[in-house]
Structure formats: C-alpha cells, structure tokens
Amino acid sequence: MGFFFQLIMVVWSCFAALFLSITCHLPVVLGDTYGEDAAALIALKNDLQNTPASWEKYDPCGAPWDGITCNNGRVVTLTLASMNLKGTVASDIGSLTQLQFLDLSNNPGISGQIPQNIGNLLNLTRLMLLTCSFTGPIPLTIGNLAQLVYLDLNSNKLTGNIPASLGRLSNLYWLDISNNTLTGTLPVSKGNSPGLDNLLKAKHFHFNKNKLSGSIPVELFSSSMVLIHILFDDNQFTGQIPSTVCLVKSLEVLRLDRNSLNGSVPSNLNNLTGIIELNLAGNKLTGTLPNLTGVTTLNYLDLSNNSFDPSPIPSWLTTMQSLTTLVMEGGVLQGPIPRSLFSLPSLEILKLKNNRINGTLSLDNDTNRQLLLVDFESNQISSVTVGLVTSYTLILYGNPICVSDLANTRYCQLPTQVSDSYSTNLTSCGNITCPQGQKLSPQSCECSYPFEGLLIFRAPAFQDISNSSRFTGLEYQLWTNLSLAPHSVYLSNLYFDVNDYLVAPVDFFPSNGIYLNQSEILRISSYLTNQSFKPPSGFGPYYFVSLPYIQQGASQAKSFSSSAIIGIVVGCSVLVILLFLLGFYALKYRKRAKEAALNPFETWTRVHSKGHGDAPQVKGVRWFSFNDAKKYTNNFFEGNEIGAGGYGKVYKGTLPSGQIVAIKRAQKGSTQGAHEFKTEIELLSRVHHKNLVSLLGFCFDQGEQILIYEFISNGTLGESLSGRTGIWLDWKRRVKIALDSARGLAYLHELADPPIIHRDVKSTNILLDEDLNAKVADFGLSKLIDDEGTGHVSTQVKGTLGYLDPEYYMTQQLTYKSDVYSFGVVMLELVTAKPPIQRGRYVVREVKAAIDKTKEFYGLEEILDPTIRGETSLVSLQKFVGLALQCTEELASKRPSMNEVVKEIEAILQNEQFNERRSASASTNLGIPVQGIHQPYDEQISGKGFSSDEFKYSGAYAFTSHVEPK
C-alpha cells in the first residue's frame, strides 16, 4: 500500500509541478517560520525594494525565500548580496536572534544607518555589509556580538570613530572598515575599557581609505597577536611607526602608505620574517633607509616619497631573492647602480624615478627573463655600457644620457602604456558582435548577460599585469571554486588604481541560457564577499564590488524554460509507464493492504453490532461509511464547503436526523496511518467538555479518513474579530470567550485522560456557538503526553505562524506551556482585533514595546481595538494584557498554567461585572472617545483586519464559517 501510494503521489506531484511551472507560483501557506522571525523579515522586506521574487511567498523558511536558510523555523542565514536592493534596513532585524550569517553586500541602494539592534544578533558569526551606502556611525552594539568572526563594513559612508567596543569581539578574524569616512584615533584598551589590541584572533585589520588620525598606538600591537594583514594606508595617521608592530611575527602585509607618519623606521623591521609586502610610501619618514637584510620573504617593497637621508642604493637590496617589485621613487637614492640589482631572480618591476642615481648603467643582455619594467626616469645616468637590447621596458627619460648617446631612442621617451594589461583571450571566438548589454562568453563564444563586478586586490605582491599565466590562474581558481562551467569567467583590462590596488574587472557568464538566475547571482556574490574564495598566492586580500544585474534575469528565473517543461513531461511519461508496469503487482498489493488497513477497526465494528464489548473508548462516537458521508454532504458539494486547510476540507452536512454536522475530510496525502487514526478517534471520543467541540463520528472507508463533529454556528473567533461575520464582540464578551477557551484548554491539560496538548491554539481554532460561547476545536495536531510523565513530547515543530512558542522552537520539546503561549497570543488578538502578524509587526513584541504602566492608558492606545475603547475598564484591560504577556513569556517556566489562567480571567470577569453593576461611572471607564461603538467593524476596521496583504490570515480551517445570521 505504502509503495503504491507513494508512487501515485510522485506522479501526482510530478504533474502538479508541471502545472505550477506552466501557470504561476501559487502562494504556499506553510507555518514553518518562527513568528518573530517572519515578522522581522516582512518588516525588512517592506523597507527594501527589489527583494527576490520568492519573498512574495508566505512562509520564509518553508517556501523558502531566496537568501534565507532556517533551522527549525529560525532564520540562520540572510544573504542578499548583489540583489540591487534599495531602501533602509529595518531595526526589526534585531529580532532574528538565531541569525548566524548576515550578508547585504553590494547593494549600493541601501542607505541609512546600520540599526543599533544589530547588536541583538548574538549568534552572528558573519556580518557582511560591504559596498552599500550606510551612513552614520558604526553601532557600538556590534561589540556585543561575541561570536562574530567576520565584520566587513568596507566601502560605505560611515562616519564617526571606531568604537572601542569592537575590542570585545574576541573571536574576530576579519575586521574590514576600509573605504569609509571614519575619523578619530585607534582605540586601545585601558583598564576595563576594551580596545583593538584585545583582538587576539584577528588576522585582518583593514582600515585603509578613511580619515583616521592620531598616532598608531604602541599598545595596539603585541607578540600575542596573529595579524597577517595590516592595511592602514590612505589615512591621516601621524607620529612614529610603533616598533611593537615588529612583534607581530605573523605579519605578511604591512601597508602604512599615504599617511603623515614621521620619525625613523623602527630598526627591528627585519624581525618580520614572513613579510611579503611592505609599503611605507608617501609619509614623512626620516633617518636612514631601513636595513632589511634577512627579510628574504619580501615580494613587494615601496619606500617612495619620504624624507629619508640620502643614501646609495642599499647593498642588502641585491640579496632579496623573492623581490618582484621594488619602488623607491622621490629623491633619496644617489650614486651608482649596483650591477647585481638586475640579477635578482624574481624582479619584475623596478621603479626608481626622481632620484639622483648617476654613473653608468651596465646591463647584461642575459639578465633575468622576468624583468618587465625598469624605470629610471629623471635621474642622472650619463652612460650605458654595451649596446642596449632589452626585452623589457626601460625608461631613461630625463637623464643626461638622453641628450647624448641615446637621444631619440625609445628609451628616452615616456611610454604611453607601461605594460600591456591582461584580458581573457577571446580570439578563438572570432569576430562576434553582441547585442547591447550582452557580452561574449569565453566558454561558449555566445552572447549573454554576464554578472559583472570588480575584484579589488589591495596588496598584490606584483605589479605586472601583462603576464597571462598569473591571471589565467586566477580565472581557473574562480570558476573551479565557484563551481562554474570552465572558462565562464572573463577578466578584462586589469589596472592599478591610485592606491596601488589591482582592479580586475570580472564577468561571470551563465553556463546556459542568456541569464543567470537570482539565486546564482546571490551564490556567486556571497561567495566572493564573504571571503570564501581564495585567490592564488600573490594576489593578497581582496574585496568584490558588483554591478547591479539586469532584472530580466530574475524574472527569467521564475518561469520554467521550455526545456525544463519538456524534461518534466518526459519524466512524467516515464513514470506513467512505470506505473502501468507495476499495476498488476500494485493491484494485488492494494487489495491486501486494504484489508490490513481496516483491521484496527474490526473489533469496533463487531462491538457496535453486538452493542457491548471491549471498546468503551468509542462509546458515543458513531462509525459512518464513506457513502453516508457523501450523502450527508451532497457528494462533498462545493457549496457545502465551510473551511479548508493543510489537513483537507471541512463540509457542512446534515444527518438523517436533521442534525447539522461539520465533516472534516482529510485530503489524500495528509491521511495518517490506520493505527494513528484509530488512536485519535479513541482520544477524541473521551474528550467531553462544553468548551471543546465534540466528535460525533468518523469514517475510515475506501481510503478516506473523515471526522464528523458537532456544527458550531457562529464561525471562528478570528472571523468575528476581523469583522467578517458581522458579529460584534464587546469587551466583556471577549473576556468571556477567553475564559471559555481557557477552560477548554485547561480541561485538555489537566482533566483529559491522557492529557492532551493542543499544539495549534489560535483564533481560528476557537469557534463560537449560537450564544457566542467559545469552543476549542481541531485536535488534528494533538499529541498525547507521554506516559513517563516527563511532561513533554519531543516532536517535529508544527503549529501556526504567529502563535508558536519560541521555546518549543528552540528545544523542539512540546509542553503544556506551548499552548499557554499560543493562548496568550489569542488574548492579545482579543485586545487588538488584529492577526498576530500584520505588516511585519508581531503583536507580542508590539505590545511588549508599547506597554507603559506609568501612562494613563497603559501605553496601549495605538494597539487597542478602537471599537472597544470606550467600554473597557482600565483595570481589567491592564490585568488582561498583563496576563497575556505572562502567557507569552519567552521562558516557558515563567508562564502560568492553563488553570491559573482560568482563575485570573475569572477574577477579571468578576471585576468587570462588578464595575458594570456600579454602572458606567466616569472614573472607572476610560475617557477615550469611542469610535463607532456598537457600529463595529465598519469598512475601515475590517479593511485593517485579517486580510493583511502580507500574510493571508490562514486558519488551517474552520469547521464553521461565514455568517449564519440569527
């Protein structure tokens, strides 16, 4: 049976997929997301334009939304890199307390401040907000994020100081605040106040391109640090280079260039035995040139434009075996050129312009083959040895030799282009011109819309951008690391910017079709922004800036391509054939299965026919055949449908006796096993309470599972509160409804045998009878309390968005207190007449935030249902809301039991009645003007009601619905 059934389901879902793909994406209502998280996401969405199309679906975790991943209904990652988002980041983001990974990078349309509430995200390990347009200061609260490993605020418009609180981020590995307008000094710890010197796990200090000032504190560095990159370039630092920086043995890149540092260079620089790049250019350093003997790892050295004492070209330079780039421009060097300089085995670029180098230039024609550029512009070289034949660019412009021996040679002209710049080779594609906006893919030689961006390397260990093997290596690394098709990455016209950053324009091409879909953009962009991509060695630290991707790509992603549809059709056909092949077997199997399935009820039917026996559990619950059920509902006539939900549909039916009933028919696929069904019936048959909807009968026949309940005429509480039933509930009635439902639940918890946790308490599961007494309905999700008496059931989280107990979410352990939480939400609904989640606002949080006991009206003017304002006594409202908040405490242990809730509400109701007897005295009633009292739920109010545009108010279903006017 199981197998056969599964097969049918596979075929069915196969065709359903086909249908959906051809038509459109229907909204799916699935309550998989924790209420506060859902509310926060909706608030975020409301403040941002261009969120992915999938964000129109109802359930962020269940749908799921692009860029979101969840764990047990809690949002753990939120990545929307390069989505062309515009707007601001709502402070509600602080509610996503399980968030570990937040990436909004590369959305230059995001402006406004980084919300302070970001400091509530205590589980955050990566906070990536680079290349947006955030303004204002770095929130101090970021210092609370003790788990943070990556903090990247690079390339925004942030102002103010670096908060000292960042020093509390003891797990921080990556701190990038570069390219902002930050001012002030670098904070170091002092007494109890933290500082950046506390960041003992940090490997990256990227503070470049700001307006930071003051001296670089000596206390900032110590031998306990593990920094590899210190990028302080392009700031306004003054004072000396602290010698303590040489204690950081792990250092690979030290960029202090483009500041106003003075004094002499610390003599212990050659303690930095692993350093690859040292850039001290553009400061006011004095004294002798540093002696870098022994720093054999150095690839890139720039000491240009300082005020060092005049010096011959230091002899230690000629021992630097790894040096690829040597830059010493601006007046310090004098005297002759050591011949061995050109023999450095790795040297590619030698830039020594504007010095006083004199004498004879002796070049051997067999100097190293790497050499690309030798720039002696504006020196005093007066002669060359042998005839010059260089394979590299040699610049002698501005030397005496250019007015004598070498006049009019190419060496005495300034080259227009120093060296060729790399671009991916497209020659094999021939001459193809692409339509506007498209580019030629090196992978397919076809035109498509690539995802374009810039990879910016801030400390490459080379300056040669013509050597293709280096950049084909980068391309290879990109497409393999990103799992893209080979050669689908295109680099073009690389260049060095004014900061000596290597800028590599990069295009990522779709491997088929002409667009990349949104999730692919997200994936590529996040991979690059969150530093998962590791470039080949020598490129150094980078960041990624993307261009907005054309939106057609996103809409393309929504509909299936015709080839996908063909694929589905073929797939479905194959399945159908399979089905026929298995038909024989399946039919036989089904016959047996049917017998087996009916088995659990055999004893019951026997008992019923004999009128006595061993099944007292089902006393009072009748067995109906499927044909009976058909008859009662007029063959499940559509017009008799009174509710629908995940479980199936509910029909109004009439028994031969004339009694009206609600008939709940499980849809195929949500039926339970026969034993479970039997258990449920046994359970429900024992539950009798005036505030619980009673079960009258059941049907387990022809593969159908049907429950037959008493019919409750006035629909659900949710409908009445929304104004859809036309029944107005005054304040006293609402308190009474709360009491009724609380009593029903207390019975389930404490008197039912075995006790029952409802699991789905919500206003659409509370029904109102003809006298507006409340009855709790829907035990479809009920679970028995286990016999061991531990008081909880560990089970997969189920329930409805907005009502779910946060602790249940965390622990997955269902307790009575989970119902208490949901009931507290219903109580707040009674006060506000709004669904728990509306327009991104979660009622529990709203009320908690609004409540102010010192205020005359308890601070609830905004939230209170206006139709009950004039008649609510302040005392009872305070007590009622206070109780609701107790019920919705985060910690289950702080919530009252259902029995205690009953007692409290009884007291509130008595108080209300007492007040009533004293008649409407002005002192106890609220002096708030009444809006439309006894003319409730006018257009305006019902419009604000339950049919919110963001969240369709979805009761799983209701037994009764729509107006049964009396």
Ligand X SMILES: *[C@@H]1O[C@H](CO)[C@@H](O)[C@H](O)[C@H]1NC(C)=O
For residue 471, the minimal CB distance to ligand X (Å) is 9
Q: How far is CA 899 from CA 168, 737, 768, 878, 913, in A?
A: 46, 15, 21, 20, 21
Catalytic annotation, pick one of 760, 769, 819, 865: 760
Site for ligand X in 710-739 (CB under 6 A): none
108 binds ligand X (CB under 6 A): no
Q: How far is CA 703 from CA 257, 603, 622, 894, in A?
A: 78, 19, 18, 45
Listed ranges 258-266, 297-305, 356-364, 786-794: which one lies at the site for ligand X (CB under 6 A): 356-364
For residue 354, the minimal CB distance to ligand X (Å) is 15
Listed ranges 430-438, 467-475, 875-883, 902-910: which one lies at the site for ligand X (CB under 6 A): 467-475
DSSP track, 358-418? EEEE---TTS-S---EEE--SSEEEEESS----SSEEE-TTSGGGTTTTTTSGGGS--SSS
Listed ranges 7-15, 146-154, 286-294, 504-512: which one lies at the site for ligand X (CB under 6 A): 286-294
For residue 441, the minimal CB distance to ligand X (Å) is 25
Q: How many CB atoms lie within 10 A of CB 854?
A: 6
For residue 544, the minimal CB distance to ligand X (Å) is 22
467 binds ligand X (CB under 6 A): yes
Residue 391 or 935 having the CB closest to ligand X: 391
Q: How far is CA 928 from CA 302, 828, 854, 862, 923, in A?
A: 74, 20, 17, 12, 12
**Per the structure block, which two tokens stand in for 90?**
């709502």
Site for ligand X in 302-331 (CB under 6 A): 316
Burial of 746 (0-12, 13-18, 19+ CB in 10 A): buried
**Per the structure block, which two tokens stand in for 429?**
């594609």
370 binds ligand X (CB under 6 A): yes
291 binds ligand X (CB under 6 A): yes
For residue 370, the minimal CB distance to ligand X (Å) is 6
Which residue matches tokens 């009761």? 955
- 4 backbone φψ class: left, alpha, beta (φ>0; ψ -120 to 50): alpha
Binding mask 174-213 for ligand X (x = CB under 6 A): ----------------------------------------
**Per the structure block, which two tokens stand in for 816?**
């009575």
For residue 241, the minimal CB distance to ligand X (Å) is 18
- 840 backbone φψ class: left, alpha, beta (φ>0; ψ -120 to 50): left
For residue 363, the minimal CB distance to ligand X (Å) is 17
For residue 348, the minimal CB distance to ligand X (Å) is 8
* Torsion sign (Cα): 914, 920, 923, 926: positive
Residue 175 or 295 having the CB closest to ligand X: 295
Instruction: Name the residue type at position 428.
Output: S
Pairing verdict, β 68-71 and 641-644? unpaired
| Residues in binding contact with ligand X, number by CB under 6 A | 13
- Candidates 49, 267, 293, 413; binder of ligand X (CB under 6 A) is 293
**113: which residues sit within 8 A by CB, 6+ positions away?**
88, 134, 135, 136, 137, 139
Q: How far apart are CA 694 and CA 688, in angstroms?
A: 6
Listed ranges 237-245, 351-359, 598-606, 619-627: which one lies at the site for ligand X (CB under 6 A): 351-359
- Candidates 137, 335, 513, 882; binder of ligand X (CB under 6 A) is 335
359 binds ligand X (CB under 6 A): yes
Catalytic residue status for 497: no
- Candidates 171, 250, 334, 811; binder of ligand X (CB under 6 A) is 334
358 binds ligand X (CB under 6 A): yes
- Candidates 470, 631, 798, 839; binder of ligand X (CB under 6 A) is 470
Q: How far apart are CA 728 and CA 721, in angstroms?
A: 8
For residue 382, the minimal CB distance to ligand X (Å) is 7
Listed ranges 288-296, 406-414, 584-592, 629-637: which one lies at the site for ligand X (CB under 6 A): 288-296
Question: Vertex 716, ends 715 and 722: CA angle to 5°?
Answer: 105
Residue 5 or 316 having the CB closest to ligand X: 316
Q: Is residue 730 classed as helix, strand or coil in its secondary structure?
A: coil
Query: H or E element: which one contains 775?
Result: strand 774-776
Residue 196 or 381 having the CB closest to ligand X: 381
356 binds ligand X (CB under 6 A): yes
Q: How far apart are CA 9 and CA 140, in angstroms?
A: 54
Q: Which residues bind ligand X (CB under 6 A)?
A: 291, 293-294, 316, 334-335, 356, 358-359, 370, 467, 469-470
Q: Which residues are catalytic?
A: 760
